Amino acid sequence: MENDRLFNGIATKFADNIYGTTKGQLRHLILCDALQPFTQVPLSILEVGGGTGVMAAHLAEQGHRITLTDGSKDVLELASANLAAFSNVDIKQQYLQDITDIDAYDLVVCHAVLEWLDKPFDAIRFLYSNLKPGGLLSLSFFNRDAALMANAIYGNFEYIERGLKVKNQVKLNPQNALPAKQVVEFCENSGFHILSKTGVRCFHDYMKDNSHQTSKFDQLVSVERQYNQTEPFLWLGKYFHLMLQKPAANEHKE
């Protein structure tokens, strides 16, 4: 936990870098799409590493009860301001490992958190152990395979040779990208049912003319939505999303 990445001191820069760009806007749209089939009735939702509250606001607008947690005090100050209008959102400064009531929630949202953790697979194991039977986990993470693909296209071969590690760590550069299929297999082996798989930004980050990310954004969104759950394109998503469910108490494994 002491080696996990927080965003104290750079919270505003973090927010601008993510949601002030087409990459962040598209990521948010696709994650909202991925959640939509599983949030048709009012739910009690825990958001782990919820940041500045963008997803919490979306879910609160739908009438769900949200508890947003994050380890960064600075980030939560922005979240408090952004979510001030919502009476159905609670905000807590907590590390994942310190949350003791995960089994009280219908759905846990853990988006873009694993890549900042020193031991991401321990976090998945912890979430599975503490979810209530039948509980849902919305999990997204930075896809190492897509990062390698993009850097090969850009000609960043020295970076690839270093194992996708920068010489001087950039605070907003994910420190622990994970191969999508490895995470899928780990989740299955942990006992989760996989309800859906979605690539997030399957095309956006590979566009030859990056001005089209803005000028053709609506068309890009349409193509992303058309193919982001389709082989082979979903595996090229710069981020990867899984909707997972812990088996119900009365469900027996084969």
CB 58 within 8 A of CB 19: no
The single residue listed with the structure tokens 């853990």 is 110
Q: What backbone phi and psi angles, to 5 degrees, belong to 143?
A: -90, 110
Exposed (0-12), middle (13-18) or buried (19+): which is 228, by Cβ within 10 Å?
buried
Tokens standing for 176? Answer: 């622990």
Is 5 marked within a binding site? no
Q: What backbone phi and psi angles, to 5 degrees, belong to 142?
A: -70, 125
CB 178 within 8 A of CB 114: yes
| Cβ atoms within 10 Å, residue 242 | 23
Mapping DSSP to helix (H, G, I), strand (E, B) and coil, where does residue 108 land? strand
Strand 107-111 with 136-142, pairing: parallel
| Cβ atoms within 10 Å, residue 33 | 17
CB 142 within 8 A of CB 177: yes
Is 50 marked within a binding site? yes
Whole-Å CA distances, 80 to 18, 58, 60, 92, 144: 18, 15, 14, 10, 32
Q: Which residues pair with 111 in a beta bridge?
A: 140
Which residues contribute to the annotated binding site for S-adenosyl-L-methionine?
27, 49-50, 70, 111
The annotation places the binding site at: 27, 49-50, 70, 111
